[in-house]
Amino acid sequence: MKYSRELVIGLMFLVALAILYWGYTFLKGMDAFSKERIFYGQYQKVDGLTRSNPVYINGMKVGLVKDLYFNPDMSGNIFVVMAVNNDFPIPKNSVARIYSSDLMGSKAVEINLGEAENLAQSGDTLFTSLEIGLKEEVNRQVQPLKAKAENLITSIDTMVTAIQVIFNENARENLISSFESIKSTFDNLQNTTYQVDTFLTSESNRLASIINNLNEVTMELRNNRESIGNTIENFSAISDSLAKADIPQTFASANKSLAELSEILRKINENEGTAGQLVNDKELYNKLVETADAMEALLKEVKENPKKFVKFSIF
């Protein structure tokens, strides 16, 4: 069977197209004969991500970015269409992260696998995240240094201002005066220290004697601690007795007795009663003195001449 020349050319053209398509997809990292899965991701910005940028799982290329378009709700968010030509299971809570794949800033998508038991199916929308850019990272690292540099410059400016204030003429004179006062203070302190040292040297014998006496007192207290304990017990017994005694009643009785004695003395001073008349009547006092003198003379006479007063009759 013979084929026409046109049919052969047509078949060769179709084969060439198939080979060209296969080569194109191969160069793009896709297998034209594998089953393709489509996943979506929504981002606020994509930082230069374009079509045909690679998609990785654990560093292995598994697909390409197939398309990018704005969300139809006009929010400004961008949908990224990821074509994955690998049958590796992707958990439903996996995160599609846009990051810089090299130092030149080329972008790629990395699918960080989650831990959910449910798997994402073709057409699902994955969680997303965006790696901080080099510029933002540099700004983040430089910002604390900038703040520290500004604080350092402010501190240096403050220090320079303080130095300018300190080193004017009046301040220099005040500093000189202050240093002289400090020197005088140290001289006085040195003199005082010398005097104290001299005093300690001269009084060292007395200090030693005082310390010895203290040691002897301590030894006496230690040797007589039993007697001291007995004394303390005696004081304790006395205090217990005082606590048990009716001290208020005793003072009340004493006060009553003093009041009665005061009343007796008042009556004597006011010539009330016999005792008051005896104390305050001078005439009566003189008569009593005369009577006593007469009695004394009579007793003397009786002693000297008993016969004159006593007569004996003997029958």
pTM over 0.85? The answer is no
Yes or no: domain 35-131 corresponds to CATH 1.10.1510: no
Q: For position 315, what pLDDT does the model report?
A: 42
Whether the Cβ atoms of residue 82 and residue 90 lie closer than 8 Å to each other: no
Tell me phi and psi for residue 129, to 5 degrees: -155, 165
Q: Where are the domains positioned within the chain?
A: 1-33, 35-131, 259-304
Q: Which two tokens stand for residue 104?
A: 């030149």
**Interval 162-178: pLDDT, tens:** 776 666 667 667 777 88
Q: For position 136, what pLDDT does the model report?
A: 59
**Interval 247-287: pLDDT, tens:** 677 777 777 788 877 777 777 777 666 666 666 666 767 77
Q: For position 93, what pLDDT does the model report?
A: 92
Q: For position 56, what pLDDT does the model report?
A: 94
Residue-by-residue DSSP string for the chain: ----HHHHHHHHHHHHHHHHHHHHHHHTT--TTSPPEEEEEEES--TT--TT-EEEETTEEEEEEEEEEE-TTSS--EEEEEEE------BTT-EEEEEE-STT--EEEEEE----SSBP-TTPBPEEEEPPPHHHHHHHHHHHHHHHHHHHHHHHHHHHHHHHHHTSHHHHHHHHHHHHHHHHHHHHHHHHHHHHHHHHHHTHHHHHHHHHHHHHHHHHHHHTHHHHHHHHHHHHHHHHHHHHS-HHHHHHHHHHHHHHHHHHHHHHHTT-HHHHHHHH-HHHHHHHHHHHHHHHHHHHHHHH-HHHH------
Q: For position 210, what pLDDT does the model report?
A: 84
Q: For position 209, what pLDDT does the model report?
A: 81
CA-derived radius of gyration, the chain: 64
Query: Scanning the structure block, which residue is given the tokens 């004081």?
Result: 235
Stretches in the chain below the pLDDT threshold 50: 1, 312-315
Whether the Cβ atoms of residue 53 and residue 108 lie closer than 8 Å to each other: yes
- Cα 181 to chain center, whole Å? 39
Whether the Cβ atoms of residue 91 and residue 127 lie closer than 8 Å to each other: no
Q: For position 245, what pLDDT does the model report?
A: 62
Q: For position 113, what pLDDT does the model report?
A: 92
Dmax (CA) of the chain:
225
